Each structure stands twice: as structure tokens, then as C-alpha cells.
Amino acid sequence: DQQVKQNSPSLSVQEGRISILNCDYTNSMFDYFLWYKKYPAEGPTFLISISSIKDKNEDGRFTVFLNKSAKHLSLHIVPSQPGDSAVYFCAASDTGANSKLTFGKGITLSVRP
């Protein structure tokens, strides 16, 4: 049973436009959400996170939105750049002492020059 779902395996966007990456979750105990970015031949790296007490968190070109009632979050990248081309993983956890991250399957973003 997949608790974190990234239903679109890939997304292609023109440089300069907005990229919107979606993520859904089923576990109502999740209260902390993160996005990781992964380039080929490298490990995933932390990008941005959001706590369930917020509905938006922004860091430069990256903004994450959280809709708790819909159990949905999205990552917006504006403007998209070719260097943003990578695999993006959505992850979630509760904030208990024994919490662990649960990852989605990832989405491959391609930004066309």
C-alpha cells in the first residue's frame, strides 16, 4: 500500500515557465513533508520542506504548497531552468521519535532550453 504517491512519472516544461510537481499521501499521521532532488550518479539532496502547520513554504524559485484536507502537496518551480532537470522525490513522515521518511516513486522533470 503506497502511502506517498507521485502519479506522474515524468514532466517536460519549457525553460522560463512554471513546473508543478504533484504528490498525494494517504497516511493522516504524516505531518512533515519534504522534496528531494536527484541527479544521475548522485544521491538525493534535500530541496525544501513544509510542516503541517503551514500551507506554503518558499525558498527562492521553489515553493511547496500543502493542502491537508486533500492530502495533497505540490512543488512549484518558477522560472524553470535546464539545470532543474532531475528526478524529484516527495517524502513524508510523522514527527514522532521513531519517525522515518516514506518516499514516493519520483518524477523525472525535463526542462527544455
Partner 1 sequence: DADVTQTPRNRITKTGKRIMLECSQTKGHDRMYWYRQDPGLGLRLIYYSFDVKDINKGEISDGYSVSRQAQAKFSLSLESAIPNQTALYFCATSDLTEDYGYTFGSGTRLTVV
Q: Which of 68, 72, 76, 105 binds partner 1 (CB under 8 A)?
A: 105
In the complex, minimum distance from the CB of residue 63 to partner 1, in angstroms, rounded to a whole number: 17
Binding to partner 1 by residue 64, rule CB under 8 A? no
Contact pick of 22, 49, 52, 74 for partner 1 (by CB under 8 A): 49
What is the nearest approach in angstroms of partner 1 to the Cβ of residue 84?
Answer: 19
Q: List CB contacts of 82: < 8 A, sequence separation 6 or more.
A: 15, 111, 112, 113
**Whole-angstrom distance, CA of residue 94 vs CA of residue 32:** 6
Count of CB atoms within 10 A of residue 78's CB? 13
Q: Contact with partner 1 (CB under 8 A): which of 28, 53, 70, 98?
A: 98
Is residue 34 involved in binding partner 1 (CB under 8 A)? yes
8 A C-beta contact, residue 2 and residue 100: no
Residue 21 Cα to chain centre, angstroms: 6
φ, ψ dihedrals at 6, nearest 5°: -120, 100
- 100 binding partner 1? (CB under 8 A): yes
Interface residues with partner 1 (CB under 8 A) are 6, 9, 32, 34, 36, 41-46, 49, 89, 93, 95, 97-101, 103-106
